[in-house]
Amino acid sequence: MTAYDLAIAVPPGWEKTLDTVGKSDRADADPPQILQFLEKGANPAGARSLSMWIWGGFSVDELVRTRFVEGNLSFVSQARVPSARDVREVIGRASWSGPQGAGTYRARHLFTQVDADRVLDVITYGAPVPATETEPSPDMRRIQEIIVHNVQSRPGLACPRTRSTDAFGVITSDGVTGIMDRTYGSASAFALGDAFVMVRRGSVVGQNVAVEFRQIGTSAPATWVAYTVTAEPRPTPAGVRASPWDGAAFKLGVKPIGFADSCWRLIVDGADTGIVLQVGP
């Protein structure tokens, strides 16, 4: 599969179940993008899964040292993995609890530099077994290593996709208009009805706004696309603190701009939001 200009060797029969920007309690100019994958067709309670975090603005050495080793009480060990490329292993410990009990597991991170500005962290975990500390299985370790050893950065469009988030984890440039979770999508997913989700402070359900996408570059045949969109309900998600972005959201159907390797600036009611969206393969 291809995501965020990376060609990733995901095992056949696995599907992406999460694609969201990393959220914290402070504004972040370059938060990681978090992808979650699950083995399709397996019992959800025992399905194999793994996570991928795409970090910008770090080298492997800096990321491991500042985010995973220094002052990290869950840190267990780190080592270099024999490989044709530089791969770093970090082992951490985490606790879990649920209806079936509680326990601890070890998380294995494999880091590799995918291009000059980005590091990929592929993570697998031990199974949740009550009163036991578990390790990732040999099968999951092999899958993890295949992904890390084979990931490739695509020489695609140089798009200044908006990545900065505010203190509520919303991707925004001006603090007035934002995008939930991601500003990257694939043309193949958009053809099936996928969409970006836009939020605006002060919006109410039923409100109409005029949106326009202006192409950056010349890779797509259209230079701009415009239409009107209506706000739909977006209540505060359960377990999440309320924010000024809650209440209403606009689903941006982007099939008209679903051209692979294209880049678009978002205009709302005639005003430039400062947000740039990227469409990949």
pLDDT (tens digit per residue) in 146-187: 999 999 887 766 788 898 999 888 999 999 999 999 998 888
* 22-26, 73-77, 195-199, 270-274: least confidently modelled range: 22-26
For residue 96, tell me if it sits in a domain.
yes
Kindly tell me the sign of the dihedral angle through the C-alpha atoms of 1, 43, 136, 182. Answer: positive
- The pTM of the full predicted model, rounded to 2 decimals, is 0.78
Let me know if residue 249 belongs to a domain.
yes
User: What pLDDT is stored for residue 191 in this prediction?
Assistant: 66
- pLDDT tens digits for 94-150? 888 888 888 899 999 999 999 888 999 999 988 888 888 889 999 999 999 999 999
Per-residue pLDDT, averaged over 230-236, amounts to 93
**C-alpha 142: how far from its chain's center?**
23
The average pLDDT across 18-47 equals 80
pLDDT reading at 29 higher than 60: yes
Domain count of the chain?
A: 2
Confidence of residue 42 (pLDDT cuts 50, 70, 90): low
Confidence of residue 41 (pLDDT cuts 50, 70, 90): confident
DSSP 86-153: -EEEEEEEEEEEETTEEEEEEEEEEEEE-SSSEEEEEEEE----TT-EE---HHHHHHHHHHHHH-EE
Q: What average pLDDT score do residues 221-242 get?
A: 90
Residues 116 and 236 in one domain: no
Give tens-digit pLDDT for 5-14: 898 998 888 8
Domain that holds residue 211: 171-280
Q: In terms of domains, do 67 and 99 share one?
A: yes
Question: Taking the CB of residue 167, how many other CB atoms lie within 10 A of it?
Answer: 12
Do 256 and 137 reside in the same domain of the chain?
Answer: no
pLDDT of residue 156: 63
Q: Which residues of 56-70 are buried (b: 16+ CB within 10 A; e: fewer)?
A: eebebeebbeebbee
Torsion of CA 67, 69, 72, 75, to 10 degrees: 120
Residue 264 counted as domain residue: yes
Token pair for residue 100?
Answer: 């079936």
Does residue 204 share a domain with residue 258?
yes
Length of the chain: 281
Q: Is residue 12 part of a domain?
A: yes
Three-class SS of 219-251:
CCCCCEEEEEEECEEECCCCCCCCCCCCEEEEE
DSSP labels, 135-185: ---HHHHHHHHHHHHH-EE-----------B-TTS-EESSSSEEESS-SEE
Burial label, 75 (beta-carbon count in 10 A; 0-12, 13-18, 19+) = middle
Amino acid in position 3: A
Tokens of 235: 């209540």
Tell me if 28 is assigned to some domain: yes
Q: What is the pLDDT of residue 157?
A: 63
| Co-location of 30 and 109 in the same domain | yes
Is residue 165 a part of any domain in this protein? no
- In this structure, are 202 and 122 located in the same domain? no
> Is residue 46 situated within a structural domain?
yes
Q: What is the pLDDT of residue 44?
A: 57
Asked whether residue 140 falls in the same domain as residue 265, the answer is: no
Whole-angstrom distance, CA of residue 264 vs CA of residue 224 = 8
d(CA 214, CA 205): 26
**Residues 253-278: tens digit of each pLDDT:** 888 888 888 999 999 999 999 999 99
pLDDT value at residue 51: 95
